[in-house]
Structure 1
């Protein structure tokens, strides 16, 4: 690996979780394309990716069925 890349941080407020019901879900932090190396073989430069902002990622969350 040529360099270190910071991927992000998630904070879970354990004191605020309602553990009376089982909750299974996930939050997609990064698109699958952002997890793959995008090095150009001829120039050695990175190609750009189309990443969503955090508010857009929240809107595209895993649980669409509960929205009204």
Structure 2
């Protein structure tokens, strides 16, 4: 029973770790960058690279020193 619980937890952990890989700095797309300014949203929308999807996606989760984000 404990082994089954450990296996279930191990299978669910990757679902909570959205960001899996980094490849330099990912920039906001032009459209969302300009619309964010028009709506007076001063918060930086965060994007990062996901190797499994091979594209930049909006960052969700806890950041650390290895995360690199920037506005274009």
TM-score (norm 2): 0.22
**Going by fraction, where is strand more abundant, 1 or 2?**
2
TM-score (norm 1): 0.22
**Going by fraction, where is helix more abundant, 1 or 2?**
2
